[in-house]
Structure 1
């Protein structure tokens, strides 16, 4: 469902792994992202590990979800 977004993150230079993807899907199963704002926060917490990747994440999120 989010596979194109994950590829977009990598294109923006945000390194993600299978572990990150699995953590994200586990969080989604628990209902931790009921709206777009919380989805943004959840994804940023899981996928962004360094401050220099914030911009790439935000660009990928905006392009995919907005």
Structure 2
């Protein structure tokens, strides 16, 4: 079972913009929100998907979104 690719929106929604304006100490989370589309590009997602390749031993992998 192969996980689906994730393509998050680049621009924050109005709700996200409001939250970002009020966050004072969580700068890492703001950075991750602004750059998640770059961090989780197609090449990185493809690399992560290799962890969900079928194996002969053990249980079948379950993607984290299920």
> Would you say same fold, with TM above 0.5?
no
Larger Cα-atom Rg: 2
The higher-RCO structure (CA 8 Å, 6+ apart) is: 2
Length-normalised TM-score, structure 1: 0.31
Length-normalised TM-score, structure 2: 0.31
